[in-house]
Amino acid sequence: MQFEWIKIPYALLTLFIVVNYGMLLGAFIQKIGARVGRRRGVPIWQNYADLVKNFGLRTSITHGVMFYLGPVFRLTGGIGLLLFVPTIYGSEMFSNLSFAGDLILALYFVFFGTLGMALGAGESGHPHAAIGISRGLSQVTAAELPLALAVFSVALQYQTLSITDIVSAQQGGVLHWTLFTNPLAVAAAMLSFLGSMMRPPFDVVLAPQEIPIGPPTEYHSSYLALMQTNRAIFPVAKIVVYMNLFFGGAASWPVFFLKVFLIYMVSVFVGVAFPRFRVEQSIRWFLVWAVPLGILSILLA
């Protein structure tokens, strides 16, 4: 038990590093989208200014307890996913609070925040809330299914549910990565990754061109700040899981920053190149292309 207490300060340091890296990545991605649209984009420091401003605001509007617990659950999912997954392989300091079987807990945290936001939006009383919930849960379920199949395939391949053991099995060179030893599982997981990042063409939940109402409009002040913080943490935390399972993990912080950046850019480049799917198109796309790859990867494993 004493050992776990010793690891907590380093886990918090990991959280601090990831929050700032996620904030900078978010600004850089906004810059890319703006350049594609022939605009200048926001300054690099804009996300920090918005976060400080929203944390300083207060609200007197009351929608019920669950409405305000939604952003808390959302942030809990991102922080929990990061803190219970090893960040730097071989580092006792940055192995965080991982343990044997942490792969199952990671899958739980991936879905936890989405369910919390669905419960919060359901108590808002807005007529469009049901539309957002149905869209969000439908797409998230369809997108996470191939990821779950890919994870099961990887667990069968390496005969373990420990993320650290999976990373250890990929050491010894690039050809030992799951990317090359189980390419079907990686393909299914990366197709799932495009949907779970909520970027075009899979941003059907917010649908900014269609319904100008969503969490950024419904939530405000410090509750919106919690969602902004999670928007910096959760994508990086999920990419850490992908990096550990499929791309050999990271043995140092420079390698960590590089791999997270490259994996993140996959969804960014797809997002700026393709228009948005409709809800039924998005779900059909996952069921037709991603799910069969996940099933094949399990059969071959």
- Encode pLDDT of 200-234 as tens digits: 888 876 665 554 455 556 777 888 888 889 889 99
Strands (E), 155-212: none
pLDDT of residue 209: 54
**Within 13 Å and on the Cβ side, how many CA atoms surround 242?**
28
Question: Are 217 and 242 spatial neighbours (Cβ–Cβ below 8 Å)?
Answer: no
**C-alpha 30: how far from chain center:** 17
C-alpha separations of 155 from 65, 116, 187, 202 in Å:
39, 28, 16, 28
The phi and psi torsions of 275 (rounded to 5 degrees) equal -75, 170
pLDDT of residue 213: 52
Pairwise CA distance, residues 151 & 140, whole Å = 16
C-alpha of 268 from chain center: 13
Which of helix, strand or coil describes residue 271?
helix
Q: Which residue has the tokens 């990096």?
A: 243
Give the end-to-end CA distance of the chain in Å, rounded to a whole number: 37
pLDDT tens track for 89-98? 988 888 888 8
Token readout for 63 is 């929608």
Which residue type does 227 have?
Answer: M
Dihedral angle of Cα 80, 84, 88, 91, to the nearest 10 degrees: 140
Query: At CA 116, angle to CA 124 and CA 102, rounded to 5?
Result: 175
Signed CA dihedral, 73, 74, 79, 81: sign only? positive
What is each CA distance from 4 to 140, 244, 266, in whole angstroms?
33, 22, 35
- Main-chain dihedrals φ then ψ at residue 115, nearest 5 degrees: -65, -40
Tell me the two tokens of residue 62.
Answer: 């009351």
As a whole number of angstroms, the distance between CA 129 and CA 132 comes to 5
Token pair for residue 225?
């700040």
What residues in the chain have per-residue pLDDT under 70?
A: 1-4, 205-217
**Whole-angstrom Cα distance, residue 62 to residue 69?**
12
Asked whether 63 and 228 are in contact (CB, 8 A), the reply is: no
Cα–Cα distance between 295 and 217 in angstroms, integer? 39
Residue among 119, 145, 78, 162 at smallest CA distance from 298: 145
pLDDT of residue 215: 58
Q: What's the pTM? A: 0.91
Alpha carbon distance 195, 283 (integer Å): 10
The dihedral sign for the CA sequence 221, 200, 280, 184: negative
Pair 259, 250: CB distance under 8 Å: yes
From CA 19, how far away is CA 47, in angstroms rounded?
A: 11
